[in-house]
Structure 1
Amino acid sequence: MNPQIVYLDGEFMPMNEARVSPMDRGFLFGDGVYEVIPVYQRQVFEWAAHLARLKYSLKATSINNPLSDEAWLDMINQLIKRHDWADQFIYLQVSRGVQIPRDHMPAADLTPTVYAYTNPLKPVADHILQHGIKVISLEDIRWLRCDIKALTLLPNVMAKLQAQAAGVDDVILVRADGSVSEGSASNLFMVKDQTLITPPNSHKILPGITRLVIEKLARRHHIDLIERDIQQDELNSADELWLTSSTKEALPITQLNGQAVGSGKPGSVWQTLRQHYQAYKNEILNPN
């Protein structure tokens, strides 16, 4: 088996040879941002939207964008070519760079550290598509800039651990005011009376690319869609709930806090949108 190849600061190398300084601010402070980008049939999916979000995160954190738009895409395509998987997902990370000595205040002349690698993108398991996932609701203890795709993911990790301890697949995070934000690494959709409802983009949630695609498809196929705050007590009477992300697309939630969501099976609106999503992927990847 050929070694897995990664990109680090302008060079491609085997993963086990990649080295980052222990004085990198990404390591010491979580001072950096990242992106996760799906690749289908060896083609980057929704690249323009992912690049726009990466640039937004860099600007919001005052980290210099280390590459041109063309260089970003060239690097990603070279990673794809170096691996045999038809479907992959790219992880790329930009930290503010190495600073000696350690200081909360970033120096003005730092060179960002750029790291990227790819892994096989596996399809969602059949049993999830047939039976959905189980989740619990938890207090959202994250910071107030969840619109930035930042490296500082400890609260998300803690939420995943709580889900595991509860014997469920994931969580829905709820702010102190009772408004629902998102999952541990995903956006949330609720269906009520055939209407698709999702929290509006704000500092409380990440502007998800899969969320964006689903909204586009809902409008294209005349499915009612509303962006508004969702209160926790509304979840108990929802007909359907979904979590969406770039690597999982849309997952149907069939149990929340031990109680069935809707019929307790993946719902009809989710099934319809899933079909539209697969057709959209084929349309984008095979335009002729």
Structure 2
Amino acid sequence: MPRIVYVNGAYHPEAEAKVSVFDRGFLFADAVYEVTAVIGGRLLDFPGHCARLRRSLAELDLPSPATDDEILAIHRELVARNALDLGHVYLTVTRGEADRDFAYPKAGTAPSLVMFTQARASIETPEAERGLRIASVPDLRWGRRDIKTVQLLYPSMAKMQAKRQGKDDAWFVENGEVTEGTSNNAYIVTREGTIRTRALGHDILHGITRAALMRVAGELDLRVEEKPFTVAEAQGAREAFITSAGAFVTPVVEIDGAAIGDGRPGPIARRLRAAYLETAIARAI
């Protein structure tokens, strides 16, 4: 059965799902997106994803194509039509179709809304079992990384740079400090057992899984410190890990060739992964 994709009010087989070549998402990356995990046919952390979508749209003065309730209904319809039990729903909002011009199109131009599903085989992955190996790269992205835009070329380049080194992913470094991963928030566990991650600002994405992880850590009486760290501090940490809607909580065991801890996924990352998934699944809608 072909995958069903939603485009601007209609559901299409994926081969028939199309947007205009004049869409500003294609011409200018003038678009934002969200990714919501699906487990057991239900949506994880959906209110957080909707809230972040609203924030991204507002920061770009980009009109919304639908209400939160309408977006939720489309998510559920796509999950049902694609019989999706485990995977993700991807949502993209662009500024819509207009002649190519750096200026925004005139008021009233309809934004585009595109959504599709992607299945996954299992919640558990080889990376979660063995841990990720990370390469550090300079952070050359634009200054508003808190807006979840589709401008993902440099993260893709960084990911491929890491892959060419035989690593799994890259962490960005700016002014000597780690900002985040190519598509995830980054954390270390200090020798004293404190979880450390960069504070929210314009320099990192305000991760929805990050916010959930912070709540879970509090419930487990784990100390969290919002403070940047260097590559050297990560290499000397007890543990490290990442969070994202796709990776949930995944351990990091190496950075720039140096093993973190004993080079194996640590107990705090494993505990957080289990607790996050238990809580997120219980609250899924």
* TM surpasses 0.5: yes
Q: For 1:31 and 1:86, how far apart are their aligned partners in 2?
A: 31
Q: For 1:187 and 1:283, how far apart are their aligned partners in 2?
A: 23
Which position in structure 2 is the counterpart of 1:182? 180
Is this contact kept in 1: 2:250–2:273, CA < 8 A? no
Distance 1:32-1:127 versus aligned 2 partners, 3 A rule: closer
Q: For 2:199 and 2:49, how far apart are their aligned partners in 1?
A: 18
Q: Which runs of 4+ in 1 moved over 6 A?
A: none
Q: For 1:285 and 1:152, how far apart are their aligned partners in 2?
A: 29
Which position in structure 2 is the counterpart of 1:208? 207
Q: For 1:207 and 1:217, how far apart are their aligned partners in 2?
A: 16
Distance 1:164-1:124 versus aligned 2 partners, 3 A rule: farther
Q: For 2:64 and 2:125, how far apart are their aligned partners in 1?
A: 40
Which position in structure 2 is the counterpart of 1:36? 35
Is this contact kept in 1: 2:217–2:223, CA < 8 A? yes
Which position in structure 2 is the counterpart of 1:134? 133
Which position in structure 2 is the counterpart of 1:112? 111
| CA drift at 1:69 | 1.3
- Greater shift in the superposed pair: 129-138 or 72-81: 129-138
The residue matched to 1:263 in structure 2 has which SS?
coil
| CA drift at 1:257 | 0.8
Amino acid of the structure 1 residue aligned with 2:226: E
Q: For 2:205 and 2:121, how far apart are their aligned partners in 1?
A: 23
Distance 1:126-1:150 versus aligned 2 partners, 3 A rule: closer
Instruction: Give the TM-score, by structure 1 length.
Output: 0.95
Amino acid of the structure 1 residue aligned with 2:13: P
Which position in structure 2 is the counterpart of 1:272? 271
Is this contact kept in 2: 1:191–1:239, CA < 8 A? yes
| CA drift at 1:218 | 0.6
Distance 1:95-1:182 versus aligned 2 partners, 3 A rule: same
Cα deviation code 1:160-212 (max 9, x no counterpart): 1101111110011101x112100000000110121111101110100111111
Amino acid of the structure 1 residue aligned with 2:248: E
Q: For 2:230 and 2:241, how far apart are their aligned partners in 1?
A: 15
Which position in structure 2 is the counterpart of 1:53? 52
Cα deviation code 1:1-44 (max 9, x no counterpart): x1110000000111100111111110011001000001111111
Sequence identity percentage? 33
Cα deviation code 1:41-61 (max 9, x no counterpart): 111111110000000000001
Q: For 1:223 and 1:60, how far apart are their aligned partners in 2?
A: 33
| CA drift at 1:273 | 1.0
**CA RMSD across the alignment:** 1.3
Instruction: Give the TM-score, by structure 2 length.
Output: 0.96
Which position in structure 2 is the counterpart of 1:68? 67
Q: For 1:130 and 1:163, how far apart are their aligned partners in 2?
A: 20
| CA drift at 1:127 | 3.4
Q: For 2:281 and 2:115, how far apart are their aligned partners in 1?
A: 26
Number of corresponding residues: 283
The residue matched to 2:37 in structure 1 has which SS?
strand
Q: For 2:46 and 2:277, how far apart are their aligned partners in 1?
A: 17
Amino acid of the structure 2 residue aligned with 1:246: A
Q: For 1:72 and 1:275, how far apart are their aligned partners in 2?
A: 29
| CA drift at 1:94 | 0.5
Q: For 2:155 and 2:263, how far apart are their aligned partners in 1?
A: 26
Which position in structure 2 is the counterpart of 1:148? 147
Q: For 2:126 and 2:87, how far apart are their aligned partners in 1?
A: 21
Cα deviation code 1:81-138 (max 9, x no counterpart): 10123112000000101112x1000112221011000011333555323321111111
Q: For 1:85 and 1:19, how far apart are their aligned partners in 2?
A: 22
Amino acid of the structure 1 residue aligned with 2:279: Y
Q: For 2:244 and 2:68, how far apart are their aligned partners in 1?
A: 23
The residue matched to 1:117 in structure 2 has which SS?
strand
Is this contact kept in 2: 1:172–1:182, CA < 8 A? yes
Amino acid of the structure 2 residue aligned with 1:58: L
Distance 1:158-1:244 versus aligned 2 partners, 3 A rule: same
Is this contact kept in 2: 1:41–1:285, CA < 8 A? no
Q: For 2:123 and 2:162, how far apart are their aligned partners in 1?
A: 19
In the alignment, structure 2 segments of 5+ residues that lack a partner are none
